[in-house]
Amino acid sequence: MGGLVEQFIGFFGNLPKELVIFIISMFPILELRGGLIAAALLGVEMWKAIPICMLGNFVPIPFILLFIEKIFKVMKNTKLVKLVDRLEAKANKSAKTIMKHKRFGLTLFVGIPLPMTGAWTGALVAALFKFKLKESIPSVLLGLCMSATIMTILCYGFPSLFSAMVG
């Protein structure tokens, strides 16, 4: 993930650092994890980076929860049908873990920063499996808080460990 984050930093290099980490945090796969890695690499203060990355990661979530099924329906009638199939398969694979404990499962899925987990996939699963907004929004937000805590400790608390992750 470190190499991908560095590519994004290079691409958005002329923008203010805070805007760079906000944009990175909005992207699927990178999300809050990538935003905090970028923040540490760019020297953004931890207390400034956390809310920026959390907000950036959360901005797309309501749109995913509300509109992803309609978007997928339209995309299935285009050349993007294979992408939709892959995303749905990913959601179905993740759903077993999440559905076992529903809201708590969604919180953990979003909160534990591992590959193929996070707010985007969590919101996708919640939308496809008809979670109510009042269940999914708090679970995703709590998961983002967990992920932010873990990633902040890794990126800012253990710089030598962080250097090994990125390098």
**79 and 129 inside one domain:** yes
**132 and 162 inside one domain:** no
Q: How many domains does the chain have?
A: 2
Q: Are 121 and 109 in contact (CB under 8 A)?
A: yes
Please report the pLDDT score of residue 9 as a whole number.
79
Q: How does pLDDT run across 69-127, given as a tens digit for each residue?
A: 898 888 888 888 888 788 778 777 767 767 777 888 899 989 998 888 899 988 988 88
Q: Are 69 and 127 in contact (CB under 8 A)?
A: yes
84-93, 133-142, 157-166: which range is least confident on average? 157-166
Q: How far apart are CA 158 and CA 74, in angstroms?
A: 45
Q: Is 158 helix (H, G, I), strand (E, B) or coil?
A: coil
**77 and 123 inside one domain:** yes
Give the model's confidence band at 134: pLDDT under 50 very low, under 70 low, under 90 confident, else very high. very high
More confident residue, 127 or 6: 127
Q: How far apart are CA 49 and CA 32, in angstroms?
A: 10
More confident residue, 142 or 90: 142
**95 and 133 inside one domain:** yes
More confident residue, 134 or 158: 134
Q: For the chain, what is the mean pLDDT?
A: 86
Domain with 47 in it: 2-57+150-166
Neighbours of 55 (CB within 10 A): 15
Kindly tell me if the per-residue pLDDT of 5 is higher than 80.
no
**71 and 107 inside one domain:** yes
**42 and 67 inside one domain:** no
**50 and 96 inside one domain:** no
